[in-house]
Structure formats: structure tokens, C-alpha cells
Amino acid sequence: MPELPEVETVRSQLASEIVNKKIKDINIRMSKLIRSPLAQFKRVVAGSAVSTVERRAKILLIGLDSGYTILIHLKMTGQLVFKGKGRIKGGGHPIKDGTVGLPNKYSHIFFIFTDGTKLFFNDLRQFGYMRLVKNENLKEIFTNAKLGPEPLSGKFSYKQFEELLNNRKNSKIKPLLMDQTFIAGIGNIYAIETCFAAGVRPTRRVGSLTKSEKKKIYDNLIRILKLAVRKQGTSAKNFVDAYGEPGNYVPLLKIYGRRGQPCRQCRTTIKAIHLGGRGTTYCPKCQK
DNA sequence: TTCAATGTTTAGAC
DNA sequence: GGTCTAAACATTGA
């Protein structure tokens, strides 16, 4: 899926397009992706207007003027694509030709606004979901999810990071970075890139990290996430975003997906391992 | 052709 | 509860 920078990109693009638009109708072609009572979902959503578009972790929050919020998770392959009058905007996961001919075979749900514009929810692997929550219950939902701090909130200090690390000394650093209850929003790509930038092997136990290494992990994590947001996210493989262009962070990837290729820093062949069930690449020379 | 891979999360095992 | 595995699913590349 889109990780934090990709979801944040979708959020800001959508915010500029759909806030204050009224939803005339909603077309649900695959109801299993709606994780709320279907009748209620349709009844509340149709006729509501969008008041906010926000994000928590990798979850998009579309606030409605009816006192409800739609939670949307894109998981591995979800997309949200806005189709305005003549222009397409939005984003999410790369699907070849995903923006050609909407709705397409992956457009499982879509919203139709009163001005005739549309918002498509496409998902090749069908892992994503939408859920309708009363605003007064939102807090409880997030409390139960035990989501960690937002790394780009501005309140997430090195001191806090170090304290969190001290509670998980036995964890391997890379799977820990991806643990949403530890820090919210980091996925496979940015965890891998952060470890490389910090010069730390993904398999290192937190307890073995020096203070200098912890600081490098923190600094690079924040730096990379901010840069990726500015570049409107990463799209591996043959991604086309909703504008039909590849994600701008792709050329900046240093190690993700480069198994067997020479390290950009030292030319050593990049290794690949399985860690926590996820493909993980690292440079055996640059990362200690 | 077959197998392993893919940006995520969760339930269930120990 | 920390930590690990497998599963939800469709497609692609080796």
C-alpha cells in the first residue's frame, strides 16, 4: 500500500478537490469492502457533503457534514482517484492503466458528487476497506488500534523516539519501525530506506544500537518521510499516478527493490532477506 | 508452467 | 504481551 507519504499525498490532493462537494450517490459494486452495515453506509453517505479530508497513520478520514466520518484504508493495492471535469486527480497504488477508463474492473466503489465529478476506489487485491464511524466514536477507534505517534506531527521528538525504543530492546529494528503501534505510518519501503540511510542492518536488535545509531535512524526517518511527502510519494514498479505520471520519489530510492544490484555508495552487491515475512534489502558493507 | 514476489493488516500460535 | 507465521487476493516476472 501506500505508506504515510503516499496517503498524505492522496489526502492533500483530495482535500483540494472534494471538500464542500455534496455526494449525490454512491455505487458499491463489491460490498465486502464496506466494513459497516451496508444500508446505513449508503443512507448516511448519499446526501452528505464532505467537510474535511484528514489522515491518521495510513488511514484516510473523509469527514461528512452529517456527523460521520468515512475511514478508508488502501492496504496494499488500493487507489482513490478523483475524476473531475476533464482532469483526473487523486492517487494511491500503481495499477497499470489504472486511470484509464474509469470505472474499470478494479473500481469497486465510487462516489458521484452533485456537480458530476466522481471519486473512484480501485483495489486490485481487494484488501482495502471503507468504514463509516460516528464522529463521537472516532477517538475510541483509534485508542483501540493503539496507534503509535505520527512521525511528522512536529511533536515527535528524538527523546520520545529513544524512550519508545527503550521499551522494545529485543525487537529487530526494521520490523519495529513498521509496527503501527510503535510509530504510525511507516511501511516496508521507508523502513528499508531508513535503515540504509542510517547505516544499520535491518536485523539489528534495538538493544544493540548505539546512541549515535539511534539518532541517525530518527534523523533519517524524519528526513526521508518529509522528502517523500514533498515528492508526492513513491511508486514502485510501473506506477502511474492519477495524473498518469510516476511517483517522484522513485529515483531517490537507494536500496528498496535493488536486490542483486550494486550499492550506490560502495558497489557491493545488495542482499535480500526475509524479515517478518517481508522482503528486505540491505547493503552488507554500508550497513553494520 | 509453476512458484515466488508485491506498497498491509490481523488473527492465531507459542 | 512480544514475536512470528499465514492468510485475505490478483497479477506479474523469473
Largest pairwise CA distance in chain A: 59
The closest nt to A259, taking CA to C1', is B5
Q: Which nucleotides in chain C lie less than 7 Å from some protein C-beta?
A: 2-13
pTM for the structure as a whole: 0.94
**A58 a catalytic residue:** yes
Considering the candidates A55, A58, A83, A214, report the single residue annotated as catalytic: A58
**A2 a catalytic residue:** yes
pLDDT tier at A250, thresholds 50, 70, 90: confident
pLDDT tens digits, one per residue of A140-192: 999 999 999 999 999 999 999 999 999 999 999 999 999 999 999 999 999 99
Cell of A184: 504510525
Q: Which nucleotides in chain B lie less than 7 Å from some protein C-beta?
A: 5-10
Beta bridge partner(s), residue A269:
A262
pLDDT tens digits, one per residue of A201-237: 999 999 999 999 999 999 999 999 999 999 988 887 5
Q: What share of chain A is helix, strand, coil (3-state, %, to 5)?
A: 30, 25, 45
Under 8 Å CB-to-CB from A245, ≥6 apart: which residues?
none
Which pLDDT value is given to residue A246?
A: 64
Beta bridge partner(s), residue A96:
none
**A150 a catalytic residue:** no
The domain A4-144 belongs to what CATH superfamily?
MutM-like, N-terminal (3.20.190.10)
The domain defined by A158-282 carries CATH number 1.10.8.50: yes
How far apart CA A215 and CA A209 sit, in angstroms, is: 10
Q: What Å value separates CA A32 and C1' C6? A: 21
Q: What Å value separates CA A265 and C1' B10? A: 38
Neighbouring C-beta atoms of residue A102, cutoff 10 Å? 18
Beta bridge partner(s), residue A281:
A272
Cell of A269: 552487491
Cell of A159: 527523546
**A3 a catalytic residue:** yes
- Given a contact cutoff of 8 angstroms between Cβ atoms, the answer to whether A53 and A19 are in contact is yes
Check if A4-144 and A158-282 are the same fold. Answer: no
Q: What Å value separates CA A221 and C1' B1? A: 42
How far apart CA A227 and CA A5 sit, in angstroms, is: 9
Which pLDDT value is given to residue A240?
A: 42
Average pLDDT, chain A: 91
Domain locations in chain A?
4-144, 158-282
